[in-house]
Amino acid sequence: MLTNKVFIKKTKMGGVMKIVREHYLRDDINCGSQACTHNCDSDGKEPLEEIPISDSKLVMKPHYLVPDTNVVLHQIDILEDPSIKNVIILQIVLDEIRHRSAPIYKRVKDILASSHKHFYTYCNEFNMHTYAERQPGESANDRNDRAIRKAVAWYADHLKDTEIEVVLITNDAGNRKQSVLDGLKAYTIHEYVRSLSNMSLIDRLANPLNQMNQDNNGKVLFAEHLGLAEIQKGIRAGRFLQGTLLISRENYLEAFVSVKDQEKMIFVQGLQNLNRAVNDDNVALEMLPDSEWSCPSSMVLAEDEGKDEEDEENRALNETVVDNKVPKELRQPTARIVGIIKRNWRQYCGILQPSIIKERTRHLFIPAEKRIPKIRIETRQAQTLASKRIIVAIDSWPRNSRYPLGHFVRCLGEIGDKDTENEVLLLEHDVPHQNFSEAVLSFLPKMPWTITEDDVKRRRDLRHLDICSVDPPGCTDIDDALHCRELDNGNYEVGVHIADVSHFIRPGNALDQEAANRGTTVYLTDKRIDMVPDLLSSNLCSLRSKVYRFAFSVLWEITPTADIVKTDFTKSIIDSKASLTYAEAQLKIDDPNAHDNLTKSLRGLNKLAKILKKKRLDNGALSLASTEVRFYVDSETNDPIDVKTKELMDTNSMVEEFMLLANISVAEKILYEFPDNALLRRHPAPPPSNFDPLIKAAQSKGFTIDVSSGKALADSLDQAVVPENPYFNTMLRIMTTRCMMQAVYFSSGMLQPQDYLHYGLATPIYTHFTSPIRRYSDIIAHRLLAVCIGADASYPELLDKSKIQSLCNNLNFRHKMAQYAGRASVNLHTHLFFKKRIQDEEGHVLFVRKNALQVLIPKYGLEGTVFLNDDGQKSSSIFVYDEENNTQTAGDVTIHVFDPLIVQLSIDRSNVQHMKLSLKLVKPMIPGFSVQSVREVQANATGSQSKTSTTDLPISGKPPQKKKKRTH
């Protein structure tokens, strides 16, 4: 049967176009039920069980469920539960979900792919008995509701000869009423879930119907959000701006909005002006009058986790007041949020803050991410969940509620348990960490794997060269190896040999899709989340010593002054002669008695690397600083027992220089051959305003920082040295790192060549090629280079600049999240390390705030806050803050930025649920504020001087695998 779909479309010129599409209808579409008595066109796959089992007290007979669109969108956590089976997802519902929420659509597709869930997609839009043509004057929503009812009615009639009932699940009162009039069974999701024996499902219901009207006695706390049509009209007229909200990590009442084509971010301050927007939401802004502009507070302000919800309600209006007494020269463009264009809510990990009234079912949830507000949920399991890490989802944020409303999703485990806390940080940073599926593993090479004669013919045989790898201790995913040998003409041949991962991962298959989605390997302190299965990452692709491996080699002829004479790219077979650590390679180089070929190769590489580095720095490349630490763990408990700052050697720099050279050489080659679709990496120059904190901090010590160019900045940093404070320059470089923009991947055809610059490296072009085992960007660079040299064939997606850019967007997100997850893992292990310790350590003041000092502890690479008052909220009575000079003064002691301190580190156990690292000032000694050192406390307790600040523990167990080379 043939029917037509008619669309009216407005053209760019303002005209109207009528589009007519033919729509074919059939009568032989399979119903998907094993109980079907009709001659449905079966393909042997009927997911719906013949006798569906349910313990519902509402629907006593065996039944199938048909949820409408809103139920699927808002109650996906219910549908994912193992107890919910035999569900029909109509095509009309699936199509609408795809357009409204990509994350929910993916979750639905995952459920449909699960054989034990017995979910089925029915193509009601192509069945002549269930297709509903839109009637004149009927809204799209009403037509969809009618189509759903028609499909339910057809299913009920189709299965009337069986014992199975078909039940519509909808929370739409009108749809439910009409269904009953049509003689259909229809219930709300709340009615159906409450009829099941699994009572824990009730806690997971989104927006319980009785929840909406219980907040704050009806007081309106927030302005109403404008509708989307009004917002779009205002944006076109220039009254409103659009951007992404970024809540401050230091003050939950302040945020910035990144607006396209505007150099400076727009500032938003106060609960009322934030108007129920959540971090990462896409919002509409209305600029405030200039007289109401403000600037970020110098206060460190966090939501008080100890407050009960009633106290919070009383405080809500106070949080809306904004102090506008800001000097004119400090004011920043300030706005208020008038509407939400797109919510970017996700599921949040955290802990429960149970109500002080035991009988209550309404409680507050405290997210692990401090930029997310507390969430009010209903649960009957508060007593059980009080000691657990849980996941909660936001459902809505009414105008009369201080907090958003949400629902409990699931429990992760005990607070403080290392596996649970690792799971939290992986979920919070959206790191895909599930086991590789059977579909993915099916594309791995069959073992035993061998190199064939055909492989040898297609590749250059470099097995005779003295190649070795240099990596951190314990590294098993060895991406790169190097060699250097002197040529007859006095020049050197240098080779960088990179694991040929693209040989094993072919475009478009399940293995390739999984690697593209993961984007990067994630390195935690005690584990590694691989981008590709272990067979590749630690075996077949890893350039281990004394085994033959496929490589993609970059070969240069280089003069003794490190000038490039010739560059060659080739697929190769190599035989690494040694897998060295940085320390082992350094020992070989420094050993005066070592004269073997491998040592000569390392010395040649090291000599050339030093010249290359000097050239880079002379060209304006930045040498910035960040503190990396290494934990040593107990071999039995895997708990950290010691921690040390990583020591950098010449060999670290040696490897880095040749990786940079290889990346630049490959970037030039692939851009020349593919000017529109090369995958490159850029580091935008920071806007001058980014450097304001750095310039101000340097001025406090009498230094001027020139930020007019990368070269000027590098020279200024080199000159900023305080002999009596050797760590000052390192601190300045750490601050400079924080002024930088994020380096990002991009498709060359999407930007102008002048925007390709990598600011930090001072190179006009750059890409990532040297780590394909752990970065998907490098696999794409390998594929492009292979096409350039005729070693592999191209494919359509590789030549599509838009698809390359879309891939880059995901890689940028995954890369950023992997960095954050790595830092969170270090913080977690630092907390575990101090769980049974109190220790005094040297720190340096990084920032001076109105109510706090932010201190860097170099030994542990961590930052902490020394609050200058009791509750971290109000100003201190002991200290006087000088905002102009950025100092805190107590008596005759004045604390400046960069000043060294002695701080006491311990775990604050005042909140058993949410123990934090606490920093207290030991020196300088300030009466009434500073605490005694651990040594003094021990001496007072024992009557004799203690030997050390903490008990020395033996180092045992092997160090965990850590991140490889620095990423630029």
Q: pTM (2 decimals)?
A: 0.82
Distance in angstroms (rounded) separating the CA atoms of residues 789 and 780:
15
What average pLDDT is seen over the chain? 86
Mean pLDDT of 744-753: 95
Q: Indicate if the pLDDT at residue 747 is higher than 90.
A: yes
Mean pLDDT of 533-539: 94
Of 455-469, 772-786, 921-935, the one with minimum mean pLDDT is: 921-935
| Tokens found for residue 801 | 């600049």
Band (pLDDT 50/70/90 cuts) for residue 303 is: low
How confident is the model at residue 860, as a pLDDT?
Answer: 78
List, in order of start, the domains of the chain with CATH numbers.
2-205 (3.40.50.1010), 228-308+326-415 (2.40.50.690), 441-685+743-820 (no CATH), 688-739 (no CATH), 837-940 (2.40.50.140)
Nearest CA among 790, 824, 517, 499 for reference residue 669: 790
Band (pLDDT 50/70/90 cuts) for residue 726 is: confident
| Tokens found for residue 187 | 């219930």
Residues 6+ apart with CB under 8 A from 616: 657, 660, 761, 762
Nearest CA among 635, 583, 645 for reference residue 954: 635
* 845: three-class secondary structure by DSSP: strand
Q: What is the pLDDT of residues 551-567, one digit of tens each?
A: 999 999 999 999 999 99
Percentage of the chain exceeding pLDDT 90: 54
Mean pLDDT of 788-817: 94
How confident is the model at residue 100, as a pLDDT?
Answer: 87
Mean pLDDT of 124-142: 87
Band (pLDDT 50/70/90 cuts) for residue 928 is: confident
Q: 303 vs 749, which has greater pLDDT?
A: 749
**Which residue is associated with the tokens 């003050």?**
251
How confident is the model at residue 953, as a pLDDT?
Answer: 31
Supply the DSSP string of 128-156, one letter for each residue. TTT--PPPTT--HHHHHHHHHHHHHHHHH
Mean pLDDT of 323-340: 81
Q: What is the pLDDT of residues 374-433, one digit of tens each?
A: 999 988 888 889 889 999 999 999 998 999 999 999 999 998 888 898 999 999 999 999
Given a contact cutoff of 8 angstroms between Cβ atoms, the answer to whether 875 and 850 are in contact is yes
How confident is the model at residue 793, as a pLDDT?
Answer: 94
Q: Indicate if the pLDDT at residue 41 is higher than 70.
A: no
How confident is the model at residue 961, as a pLDDT?
Answer: 44
Edge-to-edge strand order for the sheet containing 852-857?
862-867, 852-857, 839-848, 900-908, 916-923
Mean pLDDT of 783-805: 95
How confident is the model at residue 873, as a pLDDT?
Answer: 43
How confident is the model at residue 946, as a pLDDT?
Answer: 41
Mean pLDDT of 235-259: 91
Q: Left if phi > 0, otherwise alpha if psi is -120 to 50, otherwise beta: which for 861?
A: left
| Beta strands 362-367; 375-378: pairing state | antiparallel
Q: Is the peptide bond before 924 cis (omega within 30 degrees of 0)?
A: yes
How confident is the model at residue 753, as a pLDDT?
Answer: 93
Q: Left if phi > 0, otherwise alpha if psi is -120 to 50, otherwise beta: which for 539?
A: alpha
How confident is the model at residue 874, as a pLDDT?
Answer: 47
Band (pLDDT 50/70/90 cuts) for residue 317 is: very low
Q: Indicate if the pLDDT at residue 12 is higher than 90.
A: no
Q: What is the dihedral of CA 776, 778, 781, 786, to 10 degrees?
A: -100
How confident is the model at residue 948, as a pLDDT?
Answer: 41
Q: 676 vs 210, which has greater pLDDT?
A: 676
Rg (CA), the chain: 31
Nearest CA among 99, 98, 113 for reference residue 510: 113
- Phi, psi of 699, rounded to the nearest 5 degrees: -65, -30
Q: Which amino acid is at 785?
A: L
Q: Indicate if the pLDDT at residue 912 is higher than 70.
A: no
Q: Indicate if the pLDDT at residue 31 is higher than 80.
A: yes
Q: Indicate if the pLDDT at residue 823 is higher than 90.
A: no
Pick from 13-22, 29-38, 170-179 the range whose average pLDDT is largest.
170-179
Check residue 699 and report its DSSP letter.
Answer: H
H helices present in 42-139, as ranges: 69-74, 76-79, 91-100, 102-113
Supply the DSSP string of 334-388, one letter for each residue. BEEEEEEEE----EEEEEEE--SSTT--EEEEEESSTTSPPEEEE-S-HHHHTTE
Distance in angstroms (rounded) separating the CA atoms of residues 533 and 544:
17
Distance in angstroms (rounded) separating the CA atoms of residues 851 and 364:
27
Distance in angstroms (rounded) separating the CA atoms of residues 249 and 842:
25
Q: What is the dihedral of CA 364, 367, 373, 379, to 10 degrees?
A: -30
Check residue 280 and report its DSSP letter.
Answer: T
How confident is the model at residue 361, as a pLDDT?
Answer: 83
How confident is the model at residue 210, as a pLDDT?
Answer: 46
Pick from 385-389, 528-532, 641-645, 916-920 the range whose average pLDDT is largest.
528-532
What end-to-end distance do the CA atoms of the chain give, in Å?
A: 59
Q: What is the pLDDT of residues 574-608, one digit of tens each?
A: 999 999 999 999 999 999 999 999 999 999 999 99
How confident is the model at residue 952, as a pLDDT?
Answer: 37
How confident is the model at residue 306, as a pLDDT?
Answer: 53
How confident is the model at residue 219, as a pLDDT?
Answer: 80
How confident is the model at residue 133, as a pLDDT?
Answer: 84
Nearest CA among 773, 862, 826 for reference residue 962: 826
Distance in angstroms (rounded) separating the CA atoms of residues 356 and 352:
12
- Phi, psi of 868, rounded to the nearest 5 degrees: -95, 20
Of 2-11, 96-105, 193-202, 943-952, the one with minimum mean pLDDT is: 943-952
How confident is the model at residue 440, as a pLDDT?
Answer: 94
| Beta strands 679-682; 887-890: pairing state | unpaired
Band (pLDDT 50/70/90 cuts) for residue 773 is: very high
Q: 779 vs 725, which has greater pLDDT?
A: 779
Q: 662 vs 294, which has greater pLDDT?
A: 662
Distance in angstroms (rounded) separating the CA atoms of residues 557 and 546:
26
Distance in angstroms (rounded) separating the CA atoms of residues 72 and 111:
12
Q: What is the pLDDT of residues 265-286, one digit of tens each?
A: 899 999 999 999 999 999 999 9
Residues 6+ apart with CB under 8 A from 583: 473, 649, 651
Q: Is the peptide bond before 448 cis (omega within 30 degrees of 0)?
A: yes
How confident is the model at residue 308, as a pLDDT?
Answer: 52
